Structure 1
Amino acid sequence: IGTCIDDNNYELIDLLGLGAYGAIYLARHTLTQKMYAVKCLSKVGLNERQLEFQLREIRLHAQVAVHPNVASLEKIVDTSDCLYIVLEYCREGDLFYTITEGRGYINDHQAIKSVFLQIIDAVSYLHAKGIAHRDLKPENILVFDGGVKVKIADFGLATTEAISTDFGCGSTFYFSPECQGGLYKKLRAYSTKPNDIWSLGVILINLVCGRNPWKQANVEDETFNAYLRNPDFLMSILPISNQINTLLKRIFCVDPSKRIDIQELR
């Protein structure tokens, strides 16, 4: 804090958060006084593959940053020991905060529909560009204009691989059974885009109910097991309509090849 980057153009003034890959700072542009979020990725002690991983995050984010529902990328500042990603600053925080601490969206069907469609639009744009996000969750969705507008952020796990062997990518509440290696038999790989769709189903439940359907989509999880036995089970434990239940059954289709795709979901 107090550090200046990019020829003193940005001053880091506060720590916003710490992630698996580095820290995020609040920064002020010294000329315009405009606030930004700066993600600092340390390069110290990283091998070639890890450095390539950092560059991939920036490259993929840059490809989709023009979309109105993707966090905008202002600038990249490359120094000898750090990569700084200058992003638009979101004063209102993320969707997780809005759902858990803020007023949330429960019973506001228009707002839920609007927010969910914005998320779908962004994911649809990513998928059309051949990119899967792999870490879709409310913590990675920024909220603007009092909860009316949302933007997807954090491309740290994003990939252009349609098929991946990188199991366990993302967050346990949100990833699909196949992303964990499969339900009953060990899979050799999984499709990345249908895995994003699964995460969207959990996010929809977060928006409508303010909670998660299960801890993890595997056979050890009692709630998920009950869903496997009876796909209408969610209606008995969550305050969801028939319409949403029907949609969720198409999203939480255990066979990814039969799962609803992003165009249909729209």
Structure 2
Amino acid sequence: MSWFTQQTYAGASEPLPDLVGSYVDEGYLQLTKLVGVHKTFHVYHALDTTTDCFVNVKVFRSGVPGSQRAAAIDHEFSLHQAVAAEPGVATLKSKFTELLNEREFTVFKLNHADRTMYQSIFHSQVYVDRANLVRHDFHQLVAAVRDIHLLGVHHRDIRPTNVWCNPDGSGVRLANFGMATQDNQSEDMRTGHTWFMSPERVDAATHPTYSPRQDDLWALALILFVMITRIHPWNAPLPSDPGYAAFRADEANNFIEKFHLTPEANDFFIRCFAPNPADRLSLDDVSVAIRMIDRFTRARLGRVYGGACIEPVRPSGTPAASVAFSLQVPVPVVGVPAAAPFADVRFLDKDRRSVTTRMRALKGLRRA
């Protein structure tokens, strides 16, 4: 349905109603489109009728004063407000309550955002064959996390659906601080998405507490991995998870063989995903290391015109999820003049584990 987060949380109340068309903020904001559905809140695009500009609003069902729900909303507002002035964080303009359909709602007014990084990665695919954009947006996200950490706030739910951006992937902003904390050590294993959690957070039996700061760093590395490959390497970082177990069993080769990462990128992720949090890269180390990696993947699937990659393609019958696109400069075509249209460039067909010519792949696509 939506490009915003869409999850079910244990203990959540009945779903919120669709309030499209309603007016809030003393009638100045009209809710025009429901863009995010969550058990505890909805996200809308809203038109400011005084300026004809759009904003995003986050709508919660208000809790009774003193209740757990009211305390959670106040806690989120307080921590988001503490970091909202940072350039890489979603701007929190105001908070107010509204009586709609005889029920009271709490509303956060935020900056307008067209989409999330999730949509940029998996729907628009704006990062395919665009290493510079990957680095630029990831550095923006790293800077945002560094800024909130310096202010003593840890997000604990960093994932592509909680990163807002423009249609071209620019303007990265960290949003949704519902799980944020100021604690340096936490016993709170609240529900989130295990894809982006650190091992010490998902395995309470082995790790009774965890560092929210280290949990954020782990999530950042996974976001970069997904930006590069468009694939989640595991469902949860647990020994019982096949993907995670395979990585731990053969760290030196697993990502190279399965996702076609370059050795340099593989070494980077091995350090980011070290079992011991003390052995992982810091935020500053991550920023430096990314600049030192020329290529992230060895796989290259692209349509080539005069030696320049202008359109990604994949072999007929190859699932999109199994393809790791390369992030590199175009490879010159040996023995073919620069002016030759659509040179017969070779690329890796991952499913067949062989090298296939581009022309054969195009014929396969036409047959499909």
Instruction: Give TM-score scaled by structure 1 length.
Output: 0.93
**Cα distance in 2 for residues equivalent to 1:259 and 1:21:** 34
With 190-199 and 229-238 compared, the bigger mean Cα shift is at 229-238
Fraction of identical pairs, as percent = 24
Gaps of 5+ in 1: none
Contact 2:28 2:49 in 1 (8 A): yes
Q: 2:214 aligns with which of 178, 194, 205?
A: 194
Among 82, 106, 126, the alignment partner of 1:63 is 82
Does the 8 Å CA contact 2:201/2:207 hold for their aligned counterparts? Answer: no
Q: How do 1:29-48 and structure 2 match up within 5 A?
A: 29-44=48-63, 48=67
Task: Report the counterpart of residue 179 of structure 1 in structure 2.
Answer: 201
Match of 2:277, SS state, is coil
Q: Please tell me the root mean square deviation across aligned C-alpha atoms, in Å.
A: 1.7
Distance 1:169 1:204 in 2: 22
Report if aligned partners of 1:115, 1:148 keep a CA contact under 8 Å in 2: yes
The one of the two structures with greater contact order (alpha-carbon pairs below 8 A, sep at least 6) is 1
1:173 corresponds to which letter in structure 2?
Answer: W
Return the alpha-carbon distance in structure 2 between the equivalents of residues 152 and 55 of structure 1.
Answer: 19
- The residue aligned with 1:83 is 106
Is this contact kept in 2: 1:169–1:175, CA < 8 A? no
1:155 matched to 2:174: no
3-state secondary structure, aligned to 1:231: coil
More helix by share: 1
- The AA in structure 1 aligned to 2:111 is E
Q: Equivalent residues in 2 for 1:104-123 (5 A)?
A: 104-123=126-145
Shift of 1:60: 1.2
Unmatched runs of 5 consecutive residues or more in structure 2: 1-19, 288-368
> 2:119 is matched with which residue: 70, 85, 97?
97
Secondary structure at 2:284 match in 1: helix
Provide the TM-score with structure 2 as the length reference.
0.68
Cα offset, 1:79, TM superposition: 4.1
Conserved? CA contact 2:202–2:236, under 8 Å: no
For residue 227 of structure 2, what is the aligned residue in structure 1?
Answer: 207
Post-superposition offset of 1:47 = 5.3
Native 8 Å contact 1:112 1:207 kept in 2: yes
Q: Distance in 2 between matches of 1:142 and 1:154?
A: 10
- Local SS of the residue matching 1:147: coil
